[in-house]
Amino acid sequence: MENPHLLCSKMVLTFMADADVTIETGIDTDIWDINGPHLFHYHYQAGPIVSAFAHTGELSIPVAVSQAVNLNFPCEEDQQVTGNGIFRTFRFRVKAGEHRTVDLFAAVYTGLDGGKPADRAYALCQSAEEQGFQTLFAAHADAWDKIWRGSAIELIGDDNAALALNASLYHLHSIAPRHADNLSVPARGLSGQTYKGAVFWDSEIFLFPVFVHTEPELAKTLLRYRIATLPGALRKAAEYGYRGAFYPWESQEGGAEGCTDYNVTDVFTHRPVRTYFRDKQIHISGDIAYALWRYFKITGDDSLLKEGGAEVILQCARFFLSRAHRRADSGAAELLDVIGPDEYHERVNNNAFTNRMAAFCMENALTIADMYRESDFFKALLEKLTYQADLELLRDLAPKLKKMHPEGAVVEQFDGYFKLEDASLETVRSRVLDEREYWGTNHGVAAHTQVIKQADVIAMMALFPGDFSDETVERNWRYYEPRTEHGSSLSACMYALMACRFRRPDLAWEHFVKTASIDLTGGGKHWAGEIYIGGTHPAANGGAWMIAALGFAGLSVENGEITLTPCLPAQIQTLRFPVTVRGKRVTLTVTQDGWTADG
């Protein structure tokens, strides 16, 4: 954790009998990804420190790995280069009861880390060998201790839940991009290849809340990634004939769209199925604008807005201007042919979540314009973007965008949703012929029913709590939860949060346990058609923290002010966790009797 380029391990071997021992180690270059061999053009360097060099297949990025071995005993060593790597073999003789210690050090650099990755890998490996395992382990432990002091949650009352919650945070911290200033987190972490390392809306909606409350600088890093990839979003919008910024659904290098047109395979015909995630999930641009604004409101730090965040929000608002339709007979504005968070229903009109997120984005653009009206940086930005006419359009259009949420009613997820077959989840599940089949697209078992993949209306209510009364939230929760398959690991946390909103932590508890334990129990969906997804679940990891801190503890931070409205389930006696607000760390303790803040 102290140095992400370095890997260290120690083995202490105890022998139960006299033996001739062989230890084999080295650097394996026979690495494959879902598209085939990952590395090409190998060459190797033998010696006390062995090294391997190669280039990735797609972008020809240099990769360099060096390895050193420390042994506390004499032995014979052989080195061998094969087509699959460079390997070393150690042979020695032991007697029963003897111990042998083996320390391994490896360093990894790529061309993305700057010049001369081979030299840097070798030098770091040499330095690690000289420092020794214990020194490096101490630095690693200190780095983790710092992270835990700022984020660990003490949950007293259910040991399994406490383990699952902090295991979720462990997974999230392990892949957080602390080594950079403008990277984000892949949707299935670093261990699942299906999404090709792409960044989804997960980062802004499910990971950002954790970091903005515990490590604001890391939250800033996630958002700088979106600022840095704005050119890719502008290109994507232009490709579809729109203005402004249409961010990729699966963002890859430079903001390139990684989502394909055919990313599900029919398990019966074995043919790829046309899906519209990349084309129609336009709420992604609003999600990013939402997180940029939330960063400012929570931290009070407007530097991100001035360093490109305001431009992102304006360009996302411009995209929604370009994408919206006006009705000739009424002048009302609509967003047609979209996909909301519920991906089982594609190409719908006026998805409630999408419309609300788009309206918020457009309103934010106007708020920023008012806030920085006299600012030189904003005047220059308006001139750069030739945006003055768009501001006038926004003032006219934003209030007219169709609202799907009359107070007190069950919100219709999209136009015509209530007319779909109101089949129970059990009924729809009984229609499944193959456990791997995809429930969405035109012929999926859920597509023509009210059964949905994941929180959609409920997610909107979680993100815009001021729009709805507790009674309205409960009415919608009770309508949509039984109709939700929870086919995404992103779903359960939203239902848990909203159950706390109407003071039913007992209903939230099951969703919390499911979310927090997903990478301990192997839960969650692992197939999309014939494609195995795999990987960890960063969004669920973030969702577990959200349920504990924002749901059970009822944490809210606005303009630097902390408020709590606790809603602890019976299983929790005490919940204690740190938050960082305006540079100050505060430890919050919530019990069944109330809460305190120290720091």
Burial class of residue 175, CB neighbours in 10 A (0-12, 13-18, 19+): middle
Q: Which of 485, 487, 483, 549 is nearest to 516 (CA)?
A: 549
Torsion of CA 223, 228, 234, 240, to 10 degrees: -70
Q: Which of 474, 507, 514 is nearest to 491 (CA)?
A: 514
- Residue (of 417, 419, 395, 418) closest to 333 by Cα position: 395
Tokens, residue 410: 């069950």
Residue 23: both structure tokens together: 């230890």
Structure tokens belonging to residue 494: 């939203």
Residue 409's φ and ψ, nearest 5 degrees, are -100, 165
3-state secondary structure of 196: coil
Distance, CA of 442 to CA of 429 (rounded, Å): 17
The whole-angstrom separation of Cα 241 and Cα 139 is 52
- Distinct helix (H) and strand (E) counts, the chain: 21, 22
Helix (H, G, I), strand (E, B) or coil at 165: helix
* Among 204, 250, 257, 343, the one annotated catalytic: 343
DSSP bridge partners of 37: 32
Tokens representing 84?
Answer: 């699959």
Question: Which residue in the block uniquely carries the two structure tokens 């602890």?
Answer: 568
Residue 426 class from Cβ within 10 Å (0-12 exposed, 13-18 middle, 19+ buried)? exposed
Instruction: Say how far apart CA 332 and CA 428 lie, in whole Å.
Output: 36
312 vs 318: CA distance, rounded Å: 10
Using CA atoms, how far apart are residues 247 and 227, in angstroms rounded to an integer?
Answer: 11
Reduce the secondary structure of 69-87 to three states and give it as a string. Answer: EEECCCCEEEEEEECCEEE
343 is catalytic: yes
d(CA 13, CA 465): 57
CB of 59 closer than 8 Å to CB of 112: no
> What is the Cα gyration radius of the chain?
26
- Structural tokens at position 151: 């984020």
CA distance 117 to 137: 24
Residues with catalytic roles: 343
